[in-house]
Structures are given as C-alpha cells and as structure tokens.
Amino acid sequence: MTEESSQNKPTIFSIWANTYRRIVDNPVVILPFCIIVFIELLALAVLYFFPREPIKSILGPVIEQFFTNGKMYMHYPANFLLMPKLLYWARVVISIVFGSLAIGVSGHLFNLIRQKKPAHLSFGIKVGFKKYISIAVIQIFLYFLYNFVQNSITVVIGKYFVKSGNKAFLGLSANIWQGPILFSIDVILGIIIQLFFIYMYMDVLFGKAGFFKSMLNGIILSFRLFFRTFMLLLVPTLVYLPLAIIIYNLGTVMDRFFPEITMLILAVNVILGSLILDPCIILSCAESYLSKEKS
Amino acid sequence: MNNRIFKLAVIIGLISCLAITGCNSKDDYVTERALYKINKLAKKVAQNPKATPPAQVEKVIGLYKKFIKKYEGSDLTLNAHIAIAGIYASKEDYNEARKYYEYMQGLYKDKPAVLAEIAFFVGNTYELEKNWNRAVVEYKKIMQSYPFTKKSMEMPWYIIGHYKKIKDDKGASDSYEMALGHFRKLREEHPNAMNALFAGNFVIRILSEQARWQDVIGAIDKLNAEKFKKFVKGDELLFAKATIYRDKLNDNVNARVYFEELISKYPESKGIKEAKEALSKLSQQEEANTKAETQIGIEANVE
C-alpha cells in the first residue's frame, strides 16, 4: 500500500505510513532526536539537584528572581512543582541550540531516504549546519510568538477575574477558566502556531528560496494543506495529551504517590515528546511537504 | 569517534559527581525530605485519629523522635516537636499534649517567638476542650510575656474574632478595649521598636472600626513617622487626616489646613493631584455656602 500510495495523491494515512516505513527502514533518521533526548534527560538530571548545593548557588537566585514564591520552590517537596517549568525552559534552550541542528540533519536524511539515496549521517550534519541559523531563527520566533500569545491570554483572563472582580464568565467560574480552559487554550494555541509555521522549516530545508520567501511559502502552504497538516499535528498531540494532563495535575499526583514521581513523569514526557512526538510531526510534515506536488 | 565518546562520558561523569558530592547528606533538602515522609504518615493519623490503632500512632511519634535525634540542630526539629504534640491533641489526649508543650518550652526557652507559638498551641488545647475562659488566659499570657512577638500582635485580633464569631457584642467590645490598651502600652513603652509601629497602626485600625474619628487623628499624630520614615509616608498621613476631617468629621476648615500642608510640604507626592482637586472642591463648596448664606441674609432682611 505504502509504495503505491506514494505514487498517488497523498492522504493523511499514506503520509503516516510512508513516514513510519522510512523511519523503520532507516533508523538513522531519528538519531538526531535521540541525541536531543539524551541532552534533555541530562538537563533533567541536573535540574533535579537545583535546590541543593552547588547547583542551588547558581540557579537559586535566578529562580527566586523570576518565579513568584521562588523561595518556596527551593524546598522539598515544592521544588518538584517547579520542575516542569524549569524543564520547559531548559528544553526551549536545547531545542534552539541543538534541536535546530537535529531538525536540519534529520530532515535532510529523510529527503535522501525518500530519493533512495544513501543516507549517511555526515551528509545530514553538513546540510544541518548550513541551515542551522535559519532554523534556529524560526525556532526562536515560534517560541517568542507562542509565549507572547499564551501570556497575553493568561493576563487577559486573570485581569477579567481579578481586576474587575467578576466571579464567572459565560456561566463558568474563574477556577475553570484559569484551570482546564486555559490549559486547553494552550494546547490548541500550540497546534495553531505550529500549523501555520511548520512548513517554514521544510521550505528552508528543501526549498531553494531565500529565508523570508521561505517563511512566506511556508505560510501559504499551510493554508493550502490546512486540513491535512492540522490532522498531522492534532493526532500526535492527542496521544501526548494524557501526559500533559498528568503534568498539569502534578500536585495531586505527587500527593497521591510520592514527590519523586515527578522525575519519572518528566522523563517520560521528554522521551514521548522529543523521541516520538517531535520526529512524528517533523518527519510526517516533511513527507507532506515533499509530496505536495501530487496534492 | 571513541575518543569523543570518552570525552563526553568524562564531562557527564564530572557533572554528576559535582552534583552528587555537593549534596551533603545532612543538608536542608535531605532534612525536609525526611520530615515530609513522616508528615505524610502523620497526616493519615490526623485524618482519622480515633480509628487509628495506638501502635500506628506510637510508630509515627517514634519516627518523629528519631528524626529529632538524627537532625538535632536543624530548625525543622521544631516542626517535628509540634507535630508530636499535635498528634496527642488530635487523639484528644490534651493533658499529654500540654505536657509535651511544657517540655518544648524548656527546649526553646531562649526563643520568645517559638515560646509564643507554643503558648498559643496550649491555648488551642483548652479551646478544643471547650474551655474558652482558660484559653483566653493563655492567649493573654502571650501578650504579656512575649509582647514583641508576631503572635502577641495577632492575639488581640484572635480574641476579638472569637467573640465576633459567636456574636457576643459585649465580649467583642471588651476585647477591643483590651486590645487598645495592649497596643497603646506597646506603642508608648517602646516607641522606637518596630512593633511600636505595628501597634500604632493597630490602634488606628481599632479606632476606625469603632468610628472614633477624633481619636484616630490623635493616633495618627502619635505614629513615630520621623523614626519610621522608611515605612510611614508623611504625605500619606496628611492626606489621611485631611480626608478624615472632610468625610468623617465634616470639618472642612481642618481638612483644608491638611490638604494645604500636604501641597506645600510634599510637592512631589502621589496624592498631590487629588489634594488639589479636593481643595478646589472645598473652595467651590465654601463659595456656594457663602452665596446661600448671603441669600438667606437678604431674604431675612427683606422679611
């Protein structure tokens, strides 16, 4: 089915099937993501020690400065409540510094595999370094945009309830708005932002246009392949959702089991996110982009 | 390639060693974790104290005692002591709880803040026995014996709150007077202590709650603003006095005096715009009053 489907107009399922087959036949394509997972797990291990010396001396003042009730988080077990946030920021830095290279390497290897050419890691690294700055700029732009929009929504909801003294909106209480609804908005926001910008990476990697033209091409293609791309992003995100809900309710989980369970949850989060979700999204969108002519 | 992997492994090893060796087995973090584990067991006892088998209770108390011994010198041992007494109290063994508090008083005899907290817990045990009169005696002891502790400052409000809760107006009114006496005494006996400032503020709060506005003005004057200029802003005091005269005492003459003083003394004050507006409104009001009086005078003359 897969070989045939690649000759016909691509469907969501054929894209997934082809991506899966190429990964299984050539696992080298996800090697860059494995390295990212390793770096992220290392960061998680270092963060585990943030309330203790000598890391406390370095991170302590930063945490106290940037987080509300920062001092509280320097103590057990509250330190674990801060771990998801710290890990998030560590992953932002890692994904900009190393992830940009990983996307470039993996994407190029994927293209070579698709063209049935030999996919040596060294070829991928060469191209990865060439495209590094462009991809890193897109990464920074996306993180900035996501955080800006997310913070704006949080502030607007917060102001509506705190400053105005309103107790409900559309019949739902402040707790529901600032809890599950805000969480859902964050998830949808993540998908929407990726939806409009995912093909930028692909055009930078595989296209021949300049950087800004690639950005424009990426957005245009997102509109053209709207539904397909939406599904390519939504389904893996839905798989990830249960874990996101567990992390969102970390306090309850910690209380029910033991605080250190946070480390296990976050390690699974790193593995699921960077080893399964990211390759799945990036490579399936690469497949989608590369087969766009047939669409 | 192997060489690179070796270098990477060395770097990771160094980071891990640095992290692990830096973690003293008796640092705060380890102590907090040890206490958390016992607290979690104690929570189960506290949730259902009557149904918990005595052996389980003894086990938890034993764990706390072990903790106290192992982490002697840590500030967290106080929490462990409080937890032990709390377990006795939750089992309704109030005498045993008070005995333990007494033992703790011996341990912390040089720490008034801790002693005040312990005394509060002792009072709580009487409250739990529904012996409010005895509890009040304990609470008043805190005010007398440890006047400069945070607990001592909280106690009058705690007592007032109790009477308000049971809707005992006489009790509440008496407690207000008692609180006023306590805070005034603190303010006057130790005018330079930080708590004198708190006491002064509390006097103002109580008098305001009782709508004794002339006394509030007097209490504002008694705040040692010069000494505590870091915390008390002269312009804010003048503004407060002016507004009390204007809104509560209907004394526009004095209100004008203080608004004018604020404008002349603190031209950079945040309240300057509001003070100027207030002054202009006062002038308009006075003008209107004068006109009305003149009109009345003319009408009287005509008649």
> CB distance A53–B24 less than 8 Å?
yes
Closest residue, chain B, to A54 (C-alpha): B22
ipTM tops the 0.90 cut = no
Single out the residue of B77, B83, B72, B42 nearest to residue B59, CA to CA: B42
- Rg of chain A in Å (alpha carbons): 21
Beta bridge partner(s), residue B132? none
Q: What is the pLDDT of residue A8?
A: 65
Residues across chain B: 303
Chain A residues with beta carbon closer than 8 angstroms to that of B27: 52-53
The alpha-carbon radius of gyration of chain B (Å, integer) is: 30
Q: Which residue of A has its CA nearest to B32?
A: A76
Position A3 pLDDT exceeds 50: no
pLDDT tens sequence across B197-237: 888 889 999 999 888 999 999 988 888 777 777 788 888 88
- Give the pLDDT score at A1: 40
| Partner residue opposite B32 with nearest CB, options A45, A49, A75 | A75
Contact list, A52 vs chain B (CB under 8 Å): 19, 22-23, 27, 29
Residue of B nearest to A77 (CA): B33
Q: Which residue has the higher pLDDT, A154 or B77?
A: B77
Chain B residues with CB under 8 Å of A76 CB are 29, 32-33, 36
Residue B26, min C-alpha distance to chain A (Å): 11
pLDDT of residue B283: 86
φ, ψ dihedrals at A173, nearest 5°: -75, 165
Closest to B22 (Cβ–Cβ): which among A53, A75, A79? Answer: A53
**Which chain A residues are closer than 8 Å to B15 by Cβ?**
42, 46
Choose among A44, A50, A104: nearest CA to A269: A44
Give the model's pLDDT for residue A102. Answer: 92
DSSP structure class, residue A177: I
Q: Does B75 touch chain A (CB under 8 A)?
A: no
Distance CA B223, CA B219 (A): 7
Task: Report phi then psi at A84, rounded to 5.
Answer: -60, -40
- Using CA atoms, how far residue B80 sits from B7, B96, B124, in Å, is 47, 16, 18
Question: Checking DSSP bridges between strand A168-169 and strand A172-173, what pairing results, if any?
Answer: antiparallel
> Over pLDDT 70: what percentage of chain A?
96
Q: Residue A6 pLDDT more than 50?
A: no
User: What CA–CA distance (Å, rounded) separates B144 from B151?
Assistant: 11
Q: Which residue's entry shows tokens 């529904």?
A: B130
Distance separating alpha carbons of residues A264 and A117, to the nearest angstrom: 40
Which of these, A135, A123, A122, lies nearest to A207 by C-alpha position? Answer: A135
Q: Do B16 and A75 touch (CB under 8 A)?
A: no
Quote the pLDDT of residue A4.
Answer: 41
Q: Searching chain A, which residue's CA lies closest to the CA of residue B11?
A: A42
Neighbours of A124 (CB within 10 A): 25
Contacting B residues, span 34-63, partner chain A, CB-CB under 8 Å = 36
Closest in A42, A53, A259 to B12, CB measured: A42
Are A251 and A81 in contact, with CB atoms under 8 Å apart? yes
Residues on chain B touching A77 (C-beta within 8 angstroms): 32-33, 36
CA atoms of B200 and B185, how far apart (whole Å): 10
Pair A167, A161: CB distance under 8 Å: yes
Q: Where are the alpha helices (DSSP H) in A95-225?
A: 100-114, 121-130, 132-162, 174-176, 182-206, 211-224
pLDDT of residue B268: 86
Tell me the two tokens of residue A13.
């399922």
Q: How many CB pairs under 8 A join A and B?
A: 37
pLDDT tens-digit map of A188-229: 888 999 898 899 888 888 888 888 888 888 889 888 888 989
Nearest to B126 by CA among B98, B164, B166, B160: B98
Average pLDDT of chain A, as a whole number? 86
pLDDT of A78 above 80: yes
Assign 3-state DSSP to chain A and report helix, strand, coil percentages, each to 5: 85, 0, 15
Give the predicted TM-score (pTM) of the model. 0.74
Would you state the pLDDT for residue A266?
Answer: 94
Q: Which residue has the tokens 């509890």?
A: B135
- The rounded distance, in Å, linking the Cα atoms of A25 and A10 is 20
User: Could you list the pLDDT tens digit for every one of the 303 residues in chain B?
Assistant: 556 666 666 666 655 555 554 555 557 888 999 999 999 989 888 888 888 888 888 899 999 999 999 998 888 999 999 999 999 998 888 999 999 999 999 999 889 999 999 999 999 999 998 999 999 999 999 988 888 888 988 999 999 999 999 998 898 889 999 889 888 888 888 777 787 888 888 999 999 988 899 999 998 888 877 777 778 888 888 999 999 999 888 888 899 999 999 899 888 888 888 888 988 888 888 788 777 777 777 777 766
CA distance B1 to B5: 6
Confidence band, pLDDT 50/70/90 cuts, at residue A105: very high
Please work out, in degrees rounded to the nearest 5, the angle formed at the alpha carbon of residue A208 by the alpha carbons of A207 and A209: 100
All residues of chain B having their beta carbon less than 8 Å from the beta carbon of residue A54 are 18-19, 22
Question: Nearest chain A Cα to B18, which residue?
Answer: A54
How far apart (Å, rounded) are the C-alpha atoms in residues A287 and B219?
A: 78
Distances in whole angstroms, Cα of residue B111 to Cα of each of A158, A253, B74, B107, B144 = 42, 38, 15, 9, 15
Which tokens belong to A22?
């190429």
